[in-house]
Each structure stands twice: as structure tokens, then as C-alpha cells.
Amino acid sequence: EVQLVESGGGLIQPGGSLRLSCAASGFTVSSNYMSWVRQAPAKGLEWVSVIYSGGGTYYAGSVRGRSTISRDDSKNTLYLQLNSLGAEDTAVYYCARAVTGTFYFDSWGQGTLVTVSS
């Protein structure tokens, strides 16, 4: 069974950094396109970043330059490092899978809440 479990969220002060994790089971992270999607409170979904199976990475404009997506193949885990956090980064962060060669998200984690506040 495919499963994605996010962790690493919490209360962060403005200007701070955090690293979110997404532990996968039932499939191999490195063989798929893995994305982060976030949702601010009472707002819509926003695609954040992807790491392709080939290793290429892309970011939404809202986080480009202050975020890094990565994966640890030995742990079958996806990460998102976010720096210079602001109130606009407060959201539930989901990891989502797109099978290589497809361009839709067929599996999602339950999300982890990040709150940026002093």
C-alpha cells in the first residue's frame, strides 16, 4: 500500500527555517516525481516544488531562492527546506506523488501544519 507521512511542522518565528520530511512506503521515492503542495488556512492549494525521478528540481515563484527540495534514497524520504519564513508561509504542507511519466498526483500525505508567528 502506498503511504506518505509528513512531519516537521510546528510553530516557527518569522525569519526562521525548517525542514519538512515525507516518509514514503509501498513505493520508491526516487523512481517517481515527488512534489510539495501547500494550503494556507481557508485558502486553496498551491503547488510548491518538485523533484523529478531524474533529479531535476523546480520551484514555485513564491518559494524560489529560499527553498530546497531533496530526497534521501536510503531512507525513501522526501524533504523540503524552507528559509526566511514569513507569515505567508503559514500553511498545511502536503507531499504528493506523480508516477514517472504521468502529471497528476495520485497519492497524498495527510499534511503537516507550519505556523509562522512570533
Partner 1 sequence: QSALTQPASVSGSPGQSITISCTGTSSDVGAYNFVSWYQQHPGKAPKLMIYDVSNRPSGVSNRFSGSKSDSTASLTISGLQAEDEADYYCNSYTSTSTWVFGGGTKLTVL
Question: Between the CA atoms of 54, 60, 66 and 72, what dihedral angle is there, to the nearest 10 degrees?
Answer: -30
**Near partner 1 by CB under 8 A: residue from 9, 21, 23, 46:** 46
Question: At its nearest, how many Å lie between partner 1 and the CB of residue 47?
Answer: 4
Under rule CB under 8 A, residue 41 binds partner 1: no
Taking residues 1 to 40 in sequence order and writing x for each that binds partner 1 by CB under 8 A, - otherwise, the string is ----------------------------------x-x---
Q: Residue 64 contacts by C-beta under 8 Å, 6 or more apart in sequence?
A: none
Report the interface residues with partner 1, using CB under 8 A: 35, 37, 44-47, 50, 52, 56, 58-61, 94, 96, 102-106, 108-111
